[in-house]
Amino acid sequence: MDKRLRHLPSLRCFAAAARHQSYSRAAEELAISQAAVSQQIRSLEQALGVKLFFRQGRQMQLTSRGHTLARHVEQAFDTLLTGLNKLRCEQEAGVLTVTTTGSFASMWLMPRLWKFSLMHPGISVRVMASPQLEDLRHADIDVAIRQGERLAEGLHQEVIIQDPVYAVCSTQFMREQQLSHPQQVRDCLLVEGHDPGPFSWRRWFELAGVAVEPDKLRSVVVDTWEMSINAVAAGHGLCLSATCMAGELISRGILIKPFAIDIHPGVRFSLLHDPESPRLMRIQAFTHWVKKELAGQGADCLAETGLPAA
C-alpha cells in the first residue's frame, strides 16, 4: 500500500477545511479543536511538500495545488462512503435526524410530528434547528428542509412547498381595526423581516394598488418567520406569511388572512437527502408523510380569508 495513505486522518481534516474554507468550521464538523485541524493540515503540507491553503481575510483559501487535491479527495471519500453505505443498509426502524430552520420546525413540523410517530412507531425522530444547510453527505443528518431550491450538489432535492405570501393578523386585531380595505393597512403596525427580499410590504402595497410613503409606515423588523407570526398572533399589527408557516394558526382561528392579495411566486421549501444514505427506508417514509401532510393542508387554511381585495 502506498505510504502516503498513512495521511488519511490529515486528508479528512483537509477535506472539511476545503469545503468550509475555514479551520474553525472544519473543527466543529469533526468535533476536534481548531488547533488540531491546523496541525493536521500543516503536517500534510510538509509531507507533500506543497502549500494547500493561504489566508484571505477571515477565510482560508485553497491554492491551485489545494484545489486539485480537494477535488480528488472529495471524490475518493464519496466513493468510500457509497461502498460503506451499501454494506450497511439499515432497516426502517431506527433514528432519523431532520434539520430545518427554527421557524419551520416550530410552525409546521412540530405541531404535526406526532402523526408521523403514530404511523411509524419504530422511527425515532431527532429534529435539529439551524439557519444553515449542513453537509448531509458528511454529517450525521438524514433529511434537510430548507427555504429555496437548487441548494446543493450531489443531493436529491425536491421542492415540496410553493406557497404564495400574504398578509395575516389576529382575528381580534381585524375586528378591533374593522379592516375592510387595504388602504387601512397603511396606518397599522407592520411586522417585516430584516431582509424580506421579494416578500416586502412595499410589494404587497403595489399589488393592492395602494400608494405609500415607506418612511411614514410604522414597522417592527424581526429575524424570522416565527417571530413575525408570534407578534401578530399577540395582536401586534400585521405581517406577511405563507400557509406553511401561518396555516396552523389560521385553521385554529387565531390568525386570519384579511385580504385576497397574494405575492407570487411565493416562498419555496425543498426537502433534501443523500441518495446514497444507508437510511433510505426511513427517509422515504418521512418524505412520503411530509408530502401527504402538505397535500391535505392547503384549501382549509385559505378558506379563512376575511374580505376581498377591494
Query: How large is the average pLDDT for residues 105-125?
Result: 95
Most confidently modeled range among 87-91, 138-142, 187-191: 187-191
Q: Which of 87, 103, 137 is the last residue of a domain?
A: 87
What confidence score (pLDDT) does residue 226 get? Answer: 93
CA 2 from chain centre, in angstroms, equals 42
What confidence score (pLDDT) does residue 91 get? Answer: 67
Residue pair 19/28 in contact by the 8 Å Cβ criterion: no
Q: Residues 220-265: pLDDT tens digits?
A: 999 999 999 999 999 999 999 999 999 999 999 999 999 999 999 8
C-alpha to C-alpha distance for 242 and 233, rounded to whole angstroms = 14
Residue pair 289/295 in contact by the 8 Å Cβ criterion: no
Q: Residues 270-302: pLDDT tens digits?
A: 999 998 888 999 999 999 999 999 987 654 444
DSSP string, 125-163: EEEEE-SS---TTTSS--EEEEESSS--TTSEEEEEEEE
Q: Which of 58, 87, 116 is the last residue of a domain?
A: 87
**Number of structural domains in the chain:** 2
Same domain, 229 and 294: yes
On the question of pLDDT at 118 being above 90, the answer is yes
Same domain, 49 and 142: no
Q: What is the CATH number of the domain that holds 233?
A: 3.40.190.290
Mean pLDDT (the chain) is: 87
| Percentage of residues in the chain having pLDDT higher than 90 | 58
What confidence score (pLDDT) does residue 92 get? Answer: 65
The contacts of residue 135 (CB under 8 Å, 6+ apart) are 19, 29
What confidence score (pLDDT) does residue 89 get? Answer: 56
Q: Residues 152-174: pLDDT tens digits?
A: 778 899 999 999 999 999 999 99
Same domain, 38 and 184: no
What is the dihedral sign for C-alpha 61, 64, 65, 69? positive
What confidence score (pLDDT) does residue 87 get? Answer: 55
For residue 283, give the C-alpha cell.
427517509
What confidence score (pLDDT) does residue 206 get? Answer: 93
On the question of pLDDT at 108 being above 70, the answer is yes
DSSP string, the chain: --GGGGGHHHHHHHHHHHHHT-HHHHHHHHTS-HHHHHHHHHHHHHHHTS--EEEETTEEEE-HHHHHHHHHHHHHHHHHHHHHHHHTPPPSSEEEEEEE-HHHIIIIIHHHHHHHHHH-TTEEEEEEE-SS---TTTSS--EEEEESSS--TTSEEEEEEEEEEEEEEEHHHHHHHT--SGGGGGGS-EEEESS-TTS-HHHHHHHHT----GGGS-EEEESSHHHHHHHHHTT--EEEE-HHHHHHHHHTTSEEEEE--EEEEEEEEEEEE-TT-TTHHHHHHHHHHHHHHHHHHHHHHHTTEEE---
Same domain, 197 and 284: yes
What confidence score (pLDDT) does residue 297 get? Answer: 66
Same domain, 158 and 39: no
Same domain, 57 and 123: no
Same domain, 52 and 95: no
Query: How large is the average pLDDT for residues 9-21?
Result: 90
Same domain, 282 and 225: yes
How far from 123 is each of 97, 102, 116, 272, CA to CA, in Å?
Answer: 10, 22, 9, 19
Q: What is the CATH number of the domain that holds 8?
A: 1.10.10.10
Same domain, 20 and 103: no
The contacts of residue 267 (CB under 8 Å, 6+ apart) are 147, 161, 162, 163, 165, 199, 242, 244, 245
Same domain, 143 and 189: yes
What confidence score (pLDDT) does residue 90 get? Answer: 59
Same domain, 58 and 183: no
Domain that holds residue 70: 3-87
Q: Is the pTM of this model over 0.85?
A: no
Q: Which of 37, 57, 87 is the last residue of a domain?
A: 87
Give the residue carrying C-alpha cell 380595505.
Answer: 181
Same domain, 39 and 151: no
14 closest CA partner among 48, 38, 46, 49: 38
